[in-house]
Amino acid sequence: MLERRPPNDILYIDLNSCFATIEQQSRPMLRGRPVAITNRLVPNSCIIAASYEAKAYGVKVGMRSREASAICPGLIYAETEPDKFIFVHEKLKRIMSDYSASVVMKSIDEGVIDLTQSPKHIYERSRFELGYEIKQRLKDEIGCYMRCNVGIASNRFLAKLAGELHKPDGLDEITAENQREIFATLKLTDLPGINVRMEARLNAVGIMTPLQFLDANEDTLVKLVCKSIDGHKWYRRLRGIEVDSTTSDIKTVGRQFVLDGKNLSRAETDARLVHLAEDVGYRLRSKQLYARGIYAWTYDFTRGYTHTQLIAKEAFNSDYEIARLARELYKKLPCPVRIIGITLYKLQPTADAQLCFDQPRKDHIDTICATTDKINLRFGARKIHSADSFGTDQVKCKIPFGSTRYLDHSIT
């Protein structure tokens, strides 16, 4: 039997055009102007955020700057500044944490407040009042140009959908009473989690609109659409029952880099690879983890995606070992390439207990690594690093989309 729909205790907070708005907040001369944010100010770079003024001209995330400039004359480009974005993320998180003990940041610019974990004097307040207060606090505590969408509902899915109804600066609630009315105005792909492929699967069984999706019976969703437990989840999700509150452990740690030149030699690419290995190693050690598997991949200019991987005999987490294994793998991959990436997998919380023949050397490497981390934490990122990654400052850390696990100021 289906559980009862819980009360509207979920608030979904989403900053509007986050990176562009922060840039407009920090540089008042950019306000009211079309602004595009890119990771690097180079010709034909990829736009990762656009201001509402730029969006009005049709500039979209993922668009190349050449194309964007053609449709939006006078478009102003700004490079990402992770420090600034992380500061706003932390401020937002602090504001949200004042309302509940249960706050989950879904990404750098959005998060969920679960009011069931709130103190009584907050829980009893009107949800709209809380929403308006958060909006005002964002302006008071970060800056007057900051805006956010607030969505209120009984689960994360509907709260996110509510937050997306009136952008920018919206505040909406989806209840059991108004849900059908709201769904009647939407397309399937307006629902969070429904992409064109999922839409095609729904269309194949005659579900063409969100209302038909809502009215579909559980068996249809399980047996014909999702063909898995996901069908049960969708059936509950659409009815305001929480199915997305689970948290997952870290399964992989990785980084990628779009190379800063078309004709980099193998040695130059290797230097950037060692830099990536050092970043990935620091992330791994910051979570007190070891890895057994390493996966190296590239996008080259002609053949597209190539990858290779190996499982090491012993768990590792030193920069030296990660760089050594990564270089070994990259010898098998083509060169020159456009993008390089390393991903560590088969993570475990401890090193292998079994001593190896090479133990003194292994201990020596681990000691060097731990000392390097201490020095960098005290004096700043990459104050000391391998000579093999010398001159690769361009491989600087960018904004991590998705996970917010590594958003702390000591990141390399």
Site string for another protein, 165-184 (x = CB under 8 A): --------------------
Q: Pick out residues in 75-104 that bind another protein (CB under 8 A).
A: 75-79, 83-84, 87-88
Site string for another protein, 110-149 (x = CB under 8 A): ------------------------------xxxx-x----
Stretch that binds another protein, among 21-29, 152-160, 165-173, 248-256 (CB under 8 A): 21-29
Q: Does 410 bind another protein (CB under 8 A)?
A: yes
Smallest distance from the beta carbon of 64 to another protein, in angstroms? 11
Smallest distance from the beta carbon of 17 to another protein, in angstroms? 16
For residues 30 and 340, which CB has a smaller minimum distance to another protein in the complex?
A: 30
Smallest distance from the beta carbon of 91 to another protein, in angstroms? 9
Q: CA-to-CA distance for 124 and 187, rounded, in angstroms?
A: 34
Structure tokens at 308: 């290779």
Element (H, E) at 173: strand 171-173
Helix, strand, coil in percent for the chain, rounding step 5: 40, 20, 40
Q: Does 260 bind another protein (CB under 8 A)?
A: no
For residues 69 and 209, which CB has a smaller minimum distance to another protein in the complex?
A: 69
Handedness of CA 91, 95, 97, 103 (dihedral sign): negative
* Helix/strand/coil for 214: helix
Where do the DSSP E strands lie in 182-304?
Answer: 253-258, 290-300
For residues 81 and 190, which CB has a smaller minimum distance to another protein in the complex?
A: 81
For residues 141 and 218, which CB has a smaller minimum distance to another protein in the complex?
A: 141
Site string for another protein, 376-395 (x = CB under 8 A): xxxxxx-x------------
For residues 36 and 291, which CB has a smaller minimum distance to another protein in the complex?
A: 36
- Residue of 2, 41, 56, 229 interacting with another protein (CB under 8 A): 41
Q: CA-to-CA distance for 315 and 305, rounded, in angstroms?
A: 27
Stretch that binds another protein, among 67-75, 157-165, 309-317, 322-330 (CB under 8 A): 67-75
Rounded to the nearest 5°, which phi and psi values hold at 337? -130, 170
Q: CA-to-CA distance for 239 and 175, rounded, in angstroms?
A: 10
Smallest distance from the beta carbon of 268 to another protein, in angstroms? 23
Q: What is the DSSP string of 274-335?
A: HHHHHHHHHHHHHTT-EEEEEEEEEEESSS-EEEEEEEEEEEE--HHHHHHHHHHHHTTS-S
For residues 140 and 181, which CB has a smaller minimum distance to another protein in the complex?
A: 140
- Residue of 46, 57, 69, 397 interacting with another protein (CB under 8 A): 69
Rounded to the nearest 5°, which phi and psi values hold at 52? -60, -30
Q: Does 43 bind another protein (CB under 8 A)?
A: yes
Q: CA-to-CA distance for 95 and 8, rounded, in angstroms?
A: 20
Query: How far is CA 405 from each of CA 106, 173, 294, 409, rounded to the nearest angstrom?
Result: 10, 29, 20, 12
For residues 76 and 325, which CB has a smaller minimum distance to another protein in the complex?
A: 76
Q: CA-to-CA distance for 164 and 190, rounded, in angstroms?
A: 9
Smallest distance from the beta carbon of 170 to another protein, in angstroms? 23
Q: CA-to-CA distance for 412 and 217, rounded, in angstroms?
A: 50
Binding residues for another protein, per CB under 8 A? Answer: 22, 25-30, 33, 41, 43, 45, 65, 69, 73-79, 83-84, 87-88, 140-143, 145, 376-381, 383, 409-410
